Structure 1
Amino acid sequence: MSGEITLFVNPTAGHGRGAGAAQPAARALRAAGFSVRTVVGADADDALTRARRAVRGGTGALIAVGGDGMTSLALQAVAGTDTPLGVVAVGTGNDIARSLGLPVRDPAGAGRVIAQALKEGRSRSIDLGRVGGRWYGSVLASGFDSRVNDRANRMRWPAGRLRYDAAILAELAGLRAVPYRLRLDDGPPLETDATLVAVGNGPSYGGGMRICADARLDDGLLDVTVVGECGRTTLLRVFPRVYRGTHLAHPAVTVHRAAKVTLETATPGETVTGYADGEPLGPLPLTVEAVPAAVRVLAPEPAGP
């Protein structure tokens, strides 16, 4: 493995924490004997081009410094290659880092975990979801939660998880079910009216909302959480349970598992946008595939099933 490590930095992540986080992470890596270079793009496309160039050039690891958006961008560069991914999570949601058991908003601690894994030659293979040519690590959201994502991305206040909570309350005013048509693997179409449908490679989104609480990163399957038609009162009553994952026991919630999932609306002209890792993918229909062992990550082994 090359002794040179590439820090892939989003300087604006976490209201400016990204720029400052790169320094303690770099110090931890240098203290372990690694040479560190930093990649910062002018925009997302330029950053991805630079990251892919580093991967092709044989960098020992690509370390994403930022939030889930930066980690998702790094996945586009390392998925399907032998280059391991490290995550220094200093963004708003940090769901990918949480699902990997990595430190959150502790760049020096994350740097030490990554350095130790590199010194020991230890990495872990995890699955990814793939939609066309795009990879994702956590959850694909559609329906009510994608409208919440859309609103939260437009908001500048409040910060952190509270932004999603505020966006949820605002979207409740227009709450309605969407007629979905789902296809799981090669099974027959399943038509259902749903408030939201989430397809999880990992368990959480939105800063710790465990919408697909039982999803595992190494089982070769996607967890599909379908929240059926429900009113505002029911949704408000169930919502706090999402952070613990206990909402899965509610009678309005159904969970499926499949290696391939197609989502589409059953009503002509109905537009629903899909988001993955908090980034817009485009309108349904979308087909998601689970790709086993798609990327190597510098993270602890899971404690158990």
Structure 2
Amino acid sequence: MYIFIVNVHAGEGKGKKVFEKLKKDKSYNLLESRTFFTEYEGHATALAAQVAKSFGNRITCIVIVGGDGTLHEVMNGVKKYPDVKIAFIPAGSGNDFARGCKLPKKKQKLLFNQIVQYPSWKPYWFGQALKDKSTNKAVLFANSIGFGFDAEVAKRANEAVYKRILNKWNFGTLSYTLALLQVLFSFTTKEMDVIADGQKKSFKKAWMVTITNHPYFGGGMKIVPLARINGDYFYVLVLDNIPRWKVLLLFITVFFGKHTSLKEVHLFKAKHIDIHIKSGSKYQVDGHTGFCHSCSIRKENISRQINRF
């Protein structure tokens, strides 16, 4: 049985358009399937948990039609069900997971037929983040988790009216760029300790710390160009003690992956990372934002089967 979880509001209605096309495909009508539509933020998590519990090993896979946020919710819903396979049909504004997994972002109907006829199941190791240990449950993430500037830009972009307008015209990446320019001149650097596999690194004027599974964030920016999906470690980028004008230069070059040559950019790999932020900081996890003072990040011990290339 194929379970479809559809966010019709993803990408300002793109999710609905994509699913309408899929419904007209002969393969869809021949499938044994159940379709569920999300109605509010967090609903995909509840739906995924419910179907995984109810249908168990009858599930061939869960097919997600939506954006990275919908994917984030679904995988947290099936956190206790590691055998459930996940296929993703991108219909959001950023679609960084699709980029990282080399999924087509526009040929969704072709991708759907590939999922049904000859799926490419490969292991994927989600990240696990435990924020402010005493008060929060661990959250899984597919793409990245970031602290500081990255998170403040994500929050501004999520709340911006222009994001809806730009998404309708397929300029979702531009909303992140505009939010970046707004935050650039008001951002206050953070004092952070990053403990990577037991090695402590202190940063007095940190702009951002980003921990990622693959190269992309912010709707196509190659934040860590050489990152590759693997089960051994994350890729970590720290931006520290850099003048504002140079931050702008960095984000101009980040689409091409040329920013890594800047001396203020620190890159390393680690499997276990602990972040301690003096006075706290905003964070973003797969685009969802919040606030914390500390965070422990680990690779999941088990891999999940994801349709990817």
Same fold (TM over 0.5): yes
**Distance change (3 Å), C-alpha of 1:241 and 1:235:** same
1:247 to 253, 259, 280: 259
1:156 equivalenced with 2:161 (yes/no): yes
d(CA) in 2 for partners of 1:148 and 1:29? 42
d(CA) in 2 for partners of 1:185 and 1:224? 12
Partner AA of 1:15 in structure 2: E
Following superposition, the deviation at residue 11 of structure 1 comes to 1.0
1:263 to 275, 279, 282: 275
1:207 equivalenced with 2:200 (yes/no): no
Q: Deviations over 1:17-36 (max 9, x none)?
A: 11121233345582595223
Say which SS state the counterpart of residue 87 (structure 1) adopts: strand
Q: Where do 4+ consecutive residues of structure 1 move more than 6 Å?
A: none
Q: Equivalent residues in 2 for 1:102-251 (5 A)?
A: 102-118=103-119, 122-132=120-130, 133-158=138-163, 159=166, 160-188=172-200, 190-251=202-263
d(CA) in 2 for partners of 1:126 and 1:150? 27
d(CA) in 2 for partners of 1:55 and 1:223? 31
* Counterpart in the other structure of 1:67: 67
d(CA) in 1 for partners of 2:295 and 2:118? 36
d(CA) in 1 for partners of 2:264 and 2:142? 26
d(CA) in 2 for partners of 1:264 and 1:98? 30
Q: Deviations over 1:259-284 (max 9, x none)?
A: 0111121x3xx230111110125413
* Counterpart in the other structure of 1:272: 281
TM-score by length of 1: 0.89
Following superposition, the deviation at residue 256 of structure 1 comes to 1.4
1:19 equivalenced with 2:19 (yes/no): no
d(CA) in 2 for partners of 1:89 and 1:155? 22
Q: Deviations over 1:108-157 (max 9, x none)?
A: 12212212334xxx410011110132110111111111110111011021
- The more displaced of 25-34 and 125-134 is 25-34
* Counterpart in the other structure of 1:87: 88
Q: Which runs of 5+ in 1 are unaligned?
A: 301-305
**Distance change (3 Å), C-alpha of 1:256 and 1:33:** same
d(CA) in 1 for partners of 2:260 and 2:301? 25
* Counterpart in the other structure of 1:303: none
Following superposition, the deviation at residue 172 of structure 1 comes to 1.3
Say which SS state the counterpart of residue 169 (structure 1) adopts: helix
* Counterpart in the other structure of 2:97: 96
Say which SS state the counterpart of residue 21 (structure 1) adopts: helix
Partner AA of 2:208 in structure 1: L
d(CA) in 2 for partners of 1:100 and 1:33? 27
d(CA) in 1 for partners of 2:116 and 2:29? 6
**Distance change (3 Å), C-alpha of 1:37 and 1:254:** same
**Distance change (3 Å), C-alpha of 1:284 and 1:214:** farther
What RMSD, in angstroms, separates the aligned Cα atoms of the two structures?
1.9
Partner AA of 2:105 in structure 1: V
TM-score by length of 2: 0.88
The answer (yes or no) to whether the contact 2:152–2:283 under 8 Å persists in 1 is: no
Say which SS state the counterpart of residue 94 (structure 2) adopts: coil
Say which SS state the counterpart of residue 93 (structure 1) adopts: coil
The answer (yes or no) to whether the contact 2:280–2:291 under 8 Å persists in 1 is: no
The answer (yes or no) to whether the contact 2:62–2:85 under 8 Å persists in 1 is: yes
**Distance change (3 Å), C-alpha of 1:241 and 1:84:** same
Partner AA of 1:44 in structure 2: E
The answer (yes or no) to whether the contact 2:103–2:308 under 8 Å persists in 1 is: yes
1:40 to 37, 42, 47: 37
Identity %: 23
